[in-house]
Amino acid sequence: MDLFIDLLTGLCFFLGSLCIIIGACGLIKLPDVFSRIHAAGMIDTGGTAFFILGMIIQSGWSLITVKLLLIGIFIFFTSPVTSHVTANLAREKGIVPVGKKIGKLL
C-alpha cells in the first residue's frame, strides 16, 4: 500500500514538474505578453494542481489536507483574475499582439 501511494505521488510530482518547466520555458520563449499569459497559466493551474494532489495523497487525511486544499482554492481563484487584469491593461496601454493584422480583430 505504501509503495502504491509513493508511486501515485511520484507520478503526480512528475506531471507537475513537467507542467512548471514547460510553463517557465514558455515564459522565456513566447514572443509577447498575450501569449506569455498562457505559459503563466500553465504554471498556475497545471503545476499547482498536480503538486497539491501529490501532497494530499502523501499526507493522508488530516489538517494538512485542508490547508493544502485552501492553497489550491486560493491560487485557482486568484490566478485567472491576475491574468485577466494583465491582459486587459496591456490591451488598453496599446500593446499590439504579434501577428495581428491591424484593423481586423478587436
The angle subtended at Cα 86 by Cα 84 and Cα 88, nearest 5°, is 65
Cell of 90: 496591456
- Nearer to another protein by Cβ, of 95 and 100: the residue is 95
Minimum CB separation of residue 48 from another protein in Å reads 6
Query: Rounded to an integer, what distance in angstroms lies between the CA atom of residue 50 and that of residue 68?
Result: 12
Fill in the DSSP letter of residue 45. Answer: I
Residue ranges that bind another protein, judged by CB under 8 A:
6, 9-10, 13, 16-17, 20-21, 23-25, 27-28, 33, 36-37, 40, 43-44, 47-48, 51-52, 54-55, 58-59, 64, 67-68, 70-71, 74-75, 78-79, 81-83, 85-86, 89-90, 92-93, 95
Q: Which is closer to another protein, CB of 35 or CB of 101? A: 35
Distance between CA atoms of 28 and 44, rounded to whole angstroms?
16
Largest CA-CA distance found in the chain, in angstroms, rounded: 61
* Shortest distance in whole angstroms from residue 97 CB to another protein: 12
